[in-house]
Each structure stands twice: as structure tokens, then as C-alpha cells.
Amino acid sequence: MQDKPVTQNDVGVAFSRHDHAHCADATLARAEAAALTRGARLTPVRRRALEILLEEHRALGAYEVLDRLAADGFGKQPPVAYRALEFLVENGLAHRVRRLNAFTACMHPGETHMPVFLICRVCHAVAEASATPVRAALDRAAAELGFTVERTNVEALGLCPACHDLACTGVST
Amino acid sequence: MQDKPVTQNDVGVAFSRHDHAHCADATLARAEAAALTRGARLTPVRRRALEILLEEHRALGAYEVLDRLAADGFGKQPPVAYRALEFLVENGLAHRVRRLNAFTACMHPGETHMPVFLICRVCHAVAEASATPVRAALDRAAAELGFTVERTNVEALGLCPACHDLACTGVST
DNA sequence: CTTGACCTGTTATGTCATAACATAGACAAG
DNA sequence: CTTGTCTATGTTATGACATAACAGGTCAAG
Ligand SMILES: [Zn+2]
Ligand SMILES: [Zn+2]
Ligand SMILES: [Zn+2]
Ligand SMILES: [Zn+2]
């Protein structure tokens, strides 16, 4: 909860006080590097879509992204946003949060990982949590049934530390 | 893969050969008992909606359920299905599979559990897997960030045993 | 009988997502 | 230079999923 500098790959950065301008810039830089590595073309719309997602640690609906893209002179029609977002997701630069029908920037692009999302139902912050143990447990459960896991969605809804504290201390309104 | 009798609470029953008529009947009976315990009123529409979900081990869209309800003389409008389904979900008799925008009957109603779904991308079978270890791992990951988990969606897309075997043996078409 | 809680049904609308087609630049082959 | 092909971007139109708001019906408590 203190504003110590947060390292780039810190999980749960969404719930920490931090210099978000730096956080977003750094993540964008890493995304660009990751895209280069994969030979994925981060064109202007795509890049701008990612920047938009990076503006906040929450998930944005496709139409919300679309509006901002349109405001920046890109196309105004749904496919414009959906295509850019699909590209970002396919290339591991963003994730889809199914619970919210929305998208969020990946906070550690380049690293292969199974995203685990913690979604605050009050402030709508979205954090990517440490996934490895969850993935392992899931793989074991699947293996017991002979099921081969290819992709996963793991999402938890609840309270982030800040909103939890607020709920406990003063429930005035 | 052999058709040994499957006990009612077996996890992953969706992927086993079994007497599904019996499976569905038994699950419905347990659901009725669970509803009674909770004082939840399993009215005709709701009960019929659950029966519809229980017809197959897959997830059905709300409009698919709606069509069948309408065919049985219930209302033809979306809220009819959504309300019945919402009731079932709220009372732990069904689950929502967000990846599919669809609903599936709970295979062990009454027991509190965090559902973990294994979804076959080929035959669309949906199984509820053993959740406890996954939940534990998720809780730990959340606790590290001070996040309080209230509800979860854990869904894995992949290949069920049968479809996996088919993919391995003969890939003709 | 009246009230109030709850269930079921309706109309209308809102939100999310994609199919199908048109255009424009990048670039290699001819 | 021209042509074909690939990929990206844009459009129109439509489909799929979900809910708000209201109307009537049942039934037990008062
Ligand atoms: Zn940040
Ligand atoms: Zn919060
Ligand atoms: Zn069955
Ligand atoms: Zn299958």
C-alpha cells in the first residue's frame, strides 16, 4: 500500500499505488519488443488500441475502445475495434475478461502465461495474479479426466485491498 | 472409457459413457432436494429449464432454452428464459459458462463448490472438474495481493478424451 | 376482502459481436 | 511499369446475447 517503486513484472500492480505513466510506458515498450520478436505488426490502430487499454488498470469494452479510436481519427465501426483487440489478444498483448465482456492490456507481454484475473467489483480494477500454481492445479484436475487443456479463463470477482478496507472501516453512504 | 456404472457425484461424468437418462433423473432429484433445503421454489418453468439443461452434457444458450420452453407452452420472450436460468444459477442448480455465453446444469447441486469447467472445443461437452485444489491455489494467489475472492469463473477449453483420441488416430478429412 | 410478496408474461430496447464486402498500400514476379 | 497477391483498414448490415419497465395472476397473511 505504500508507493515504493514497483518493478515492471510485479503481479498485482493494479492494486498498488504506483507511477502509472511509467508503468504504462514500460509495458507498451515491452509489448513492442514482444511483437517484434513474434514478427507481429503493431500497426497504428493496434498500437493505439493497446495504449488505450493501458491507460487504466481496468477492462474496457470493445465499444469503449472503439469510441476512443474513432476520436483519434480511426474507423468508427465495431470491426475496427474488434479486429485490433483480437490481434492484441492473439499476440499476447492483451487479454479478454469474459466476466466483463471486456479487454485489458497484458501487464507482462512476451512471457507465456495463463492469465488469472482478480476483478474488484467496487472499483473495477483488474489485476493479473500469479498463475503458475493455479494452472498446475487445473492441469492436474483435467488430467484426471483425460482432458487436454489448451486455453483457460480464470477470473475471480471480489474486493481489492483498498475497497475491502473501505468496506470494513466506514460503511457510511 | 469403458461403460462401468458411474456414481452420481463422479466428476467429469460428461466424458464417460454412462446411462444418461438415469444420470439426469438422479441429478434432477438431487436438485429438487437441494431446492427444498434452501426453501427455493422450483416452479414449473424453472424445473423445466433445469430438465432442458440436463438433457445433455453441454451448455445451452438462453435463447436455445427459451425455444424449448416456448415449445412446452411457456413464454416466448427472453426474460422468461433468463429469469429461470438466473434462479437456477443463484440457487446452485446450474452454472453460467461465460466462455460460451451459455448455461449448464450443475452436476452436484447442494454441495457448495467452485465450478471448474472443462469444455471440449470439438464435441462441446462440458464437464465439472474437481475444484478444491484449484480454488486453494487461486485463494493463495489472491491473498498475496490482499484480494478477497467472492466468486470465480474457471473455465478451460481443450479436448475431451474421446475427441483427443480421434485427433490422434485418424485425421482424415 | 384487501394487501403485499412473488412469479410469470409482455413490449421495447440496449449491449456485444461478426459476416460480407470495398478499398488501399506493400511488395514480389513478370 | 504492371499485375497479382497479401494484409490491413474501412464500410454496411445483421446477428446474438441480455435487461429495463410494466401488466396481470396467484396465494397466504392480516
Ligand atoms: Zn500501472
Ligand atoms: Zn477496488
Ligand atoms: Zn449424464
Ligand atoms: Zn469432445
Confidence bin at A120 (pLDDT 50/70/90): very high
Alpha-carbon span B68 to B81, nearest angstrom: 10
B167 Cβ under 8 Å from any chain A Cβ: no
CB-nearest to A129 from B120, B142, B154 is B142
Distance from CA of A29 to the nearest CA of B (A): 25
The pLDDT value given to residue A42? 95
* Residues B99, A98 contacting (CB under 8 angstroms): yes
pLDDT band at residue B82 using 50, 70 and 90 as cut-offs: very high
The predicted pLDDT at position A169 comes to 67
Q: What is the pLDDT of residue B13?
A: 87
Is A30's pLDDT higher than 70? yes
Nearest CA in chain A to B101: A98
Q: Give the integer Cα–Cα distance in Å for A3 and B85.
A: 45
B3 pLDDT above the threshold of 60: no
pLDDT at res. B138: 95
HEC readout, A88-156: HHHCCCEEEEHHHCEEEECCCCCCCCCCEEEEECCCCEEEECCCHHHHHHHHHHHHHCCCEEEEEEEEE
The pLDDT of residue B173 is above 50: no
CA distance A120 to A129: 13
Q: Which domains does chain A have, with CATH numbers?
A: 13-169 (1.10.10.10)
Rounded to whole angstroms, the Cα distance separating A153 from A148 reads 15
A17 alpha carbon, closest ligand: 1
Strands B102-105 and A148-159 turn out to be: unpaired
* Global model pTM greater than 0.75: yes
pLDDT surpassing 70 at residue A8: no
Q: Report the distance from CA of residue B39 to the C1' of nucleotide D27 in Å, as an integer.
A: 17
CA of A166 to the centre of ligand 2 (A): 9
Instruction: Name the closest residue (CA) to the C1' of nucleotide C8.
Output: B80
Measured in residues, chain A has a length of: 173
Residue A20 CA to residue A155 CA, distance in Å, equals 23
CB of B12 less than 8 A from some CB of A: yes
Look over chain B and give the mean of its residue pLDDT values, rounded to a whole number.
90
B125 CA distance to ligand 3 middle (Å): 11
pLDDT for B45 equals 97
